[in-house]
Structure 1
Amino acid sequence: MSIESMGVEWKSLEERARVHAALGDVARLAIVDALGVGDAAPGELGALLGMPTNLVAHHLKVLQDAGLVVRGRSEGDHRRTYVRLVPEALVSVGSRLLNEVPRVVFVCTHNSARSQLAAAIWSRRSRVPAASAGTQPAERVHPRAVKVARRRGLDPAAWRTAQVHDVVKPDDLVIAVCDIAYETLPADARPRVHWSVPDPAPADTDAAFEAAYDEIAGRIDRLEPLVSQSGAEGTRA
């Protein structure tokens, strides 16, 4: 083995060791476990885990330095930041199951792109039924979302926009795929999971919509094995 190759291997070992060290604390492991399902603001993590804000900030810095989490500013309330897990740095983040889920409902503001794509991708991956809705539904689905769906083998022919209160039921697993919907939904439709997926509409390019598709598909691939179905069995598409 050459010195050069040993240097590369040693660097890789050091990076892996930083990840293991960051996870070698119960509080940080709990934070990673919480972020394995969806994104959260630091204050939400503190409330969920019963930690003071200064302790949350310390643990988040350690996780961020290890490359396990990143922060992003909310597209709704710009004073807020959300923390998200970096899946490439951690292949598996735990095995907490979301038990007895009768249906998954993906929600965004206009129900014209991200939530429609999410419901369609989910339906192709899981036996658990899926639907989508918006807090301020647009008149139609965004043409670029339709274009991306068809290019990825989805059928958007039956897609229609809908209002959250006309769709969401008490037992649904509500997943907000945009910051604005997450921050404005009332308590009776409050999302259990939040994915801070950037809105592709302002850029209005195929690349932006493709990026949103890839982001959502990756998150669904990580969440779907953790969701167990209740009720009648379906068939996987």
Structure 2
Amino acid sequence: MKTEREDGFQARVAKHAALADPARLRIVDLLTLGDFSPTELQAELNMPSNLLSHHLRALEGAGLATRHRSEADKRRSYIRLAARALEGLAPGEEHAASRVVFVCTRNSARSQLAAALWREASEIPSTSAGTHPGDRIAQGAIEVARRHGVKLAEVPPRKLDRVSGGDFVVTVCDNAHEELTGLGGIHWSVPDPLRINTEEAFESAFTDISNRVNDLAPRMHAA
């Protein structure tokens, strides 16, 4: 037990040491909202690629960040906040919105689940849409929502239309995010459960989205 406590203490020390650098603290603040490619972080921070790489290696080494390849452009990777990275640490700034808009490609699974989970976690209205909507909500999404007692909206997939200035846009699909470059908002790089189309894949996507919704909702307030 003493070793476990010491290991946990040293992990906290490593996190605090990594966050003592202003640039790394800013990167983590951004990652508390969503996932970013290195190129996107460079643009946000106005930082040379070699210096950004140094900071990302430090954050990964401290257990604060992880990365994985895009499902769309295999040359691109996304940096995300590691699971439980901020235990014992305060998150970043709060944000205001009149509505939260969740977007994926087909609007048949991830964005529908995200909007449904948001309605349970926040009083700020939510909706979902797709860049290329499918014909119907995926059966796997319906079933995972039912297993967890979450009520999906009784609307078919719909195309992303007008986004107002008070909308807070969350893309939950790499393809949609990369197609909508310049739209603003944040990105959650959630793997497409329909690629595998198993119960486990939908459970994994549901858990990922649920954790992110529950982390973000307390940091949002009505505009």
Does the TM-score normalized on the shorter chain lie above 0.5? yes
Of residues 174-183 and 43-52 in structure 1, the stretch that sits farther from structure 2 once superposed is: 43-52
How is 1:128-143 mapped onto 2 (pairs within 5 angstroms)?
Answer: 128-143=124-139
2:159 is the counterpart of 1:175: no
Q: 1:69 maps to which residue?
A: 65
Check whether the contact 1:36–1:93 (CA below 8 A) recurs between aligned residues: no
The one-letter code of the counterpart of 2:93 is: R
How is 1:21-40 mapped onto 2 (pairs within 5 angstroms)?
Answer: 21-40=17-36
Q: Which runs of 5+ in 1 are unaligned?
A: 231-237
For 1:157 and 1:222, the matched residues in 2 are separated by 22
The alpha carbon displacement at 1:52 in A equals 1.1
| Fraction of identical pairs, as percent | 45
Distance change (3 Å), C-alpha of 1:35 and 1:157: closer
The alpha carbon displacement at 1:124 in A equals 1.0
Q: 1:144 maps to which residue?
A: 140
2:67 is the counterpart of 1:58: no
1:67-121 deviation per Cα after TM superposition (whole angstroms, max 9, x unaligned): 110001111111111100014121245231112x110010000000000000000
Q: Which runs of 5+ in 2 are unaligned?
A: none
1:104-163 deviation per Cα after TM superposition (whole angstroms, max 9, x unaligned): 010000000000000000011111000000011000000110011111112236131000
The alpha carbon displacement at 1:43 in A equals 1.5
What is the RMSD of the two structures over their aligned residues, measured on CA atoms?
A: 1.5
The one-letter code of the counterpart of 2:201 is: A
The alpha carbon displacement at 1:186 in A equals 5.5
Q: 1:198 maps to which residue?
A: 191
Distance change (3 Å), C-alpha of 1:173 and 1:23: same
Of residues 12-21 and 24-33 in structure 1, the stretch that sits farther from structure 2 once superposed is: 12-21
* 4+ long deviations beyond 6 Å: none
Normalised to the residue count of structure 2, the TM-score between the two structures is 0.94
2:107 is the counterpart of 1:111: yes
For 2:181 and 2:91, the matched residues in 1 are separated by 29
Task: Report how many residues are paired.
Answer: 222
The alpha carbon displacement at 1:23 in A equals 1.1
The one-letter code of the counterpart of 1:9 is: R
Higher-Rg member (1/2): 1
Distance change (3 Å), C-alpha of 1:64 and 1:185: same
Normalised to the residue count of structure 1, the TM-score between the two structures is 0.89
